[in-house]
């Protein structure tokens, strides 16, 4: 971090930090949503429905990354706390739905 947080710093690095937070929060779900859009939600046999494993290691790393970005830069950019809260709540809801309906 620079010694002085100027408007130029926020203009250049603030955008990068916010985009990093948003991309790391929602990018893992893009593939799943595209798969659902392309293939559609179909009724499957009970044996075929739960074939994928839920990778908790990736989800834990995603939560830690979001928390780290928020607490590192959030005191200089308070909007990150709002974005972090929204992303953690949405990750929780999406993961809950995916575990309930799509994973083992």
Q: Taking the domains of the chain in order of start, what are their residue ranges?
A: 50-104
What confidence category does residue 46 fall into, taking pLDDT thresholds of 50, 70 and 90? very low
Confidence grade of residue 86 (pLDDT, cut at 50, 70, 90) = very high
20: pLDDT strictly greater than 80: yes
Mean pLDDT in residue range 25-31: 83
Task: Please say if the pLDDT value at position 47 is more than 60.
Answer: no
The confidence score (pLDDT) of residue 44 equals 56
> From CA 16, how far away is CA 80, in angstroms rounded?
12
Q: What's the mean per-residue pLDDT of the chain?
A: 80
């Amino acid at each position: 971090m620079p010694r002085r947080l100027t408007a130029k710093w926020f203009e250049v690095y603030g955008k990068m930090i916010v985009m990093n937070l948003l991309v790391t929060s929602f990018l893992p779900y893009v593939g799943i949503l595209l798969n659902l859009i392309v293939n559609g939600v179909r009724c499957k046999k009970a044996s075929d429905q739960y074939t994928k494993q839920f990778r908790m290691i990736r989800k834990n790393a995603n939560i830690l990354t979001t928390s780290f970005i928020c607490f590192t830069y959030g005191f200089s950019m308070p909007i990150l706390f709002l974005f972090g809260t929204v992303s953690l709540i949405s990750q929780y809801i999406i993961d809950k739905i995916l575990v309930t309906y799509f994973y083992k």
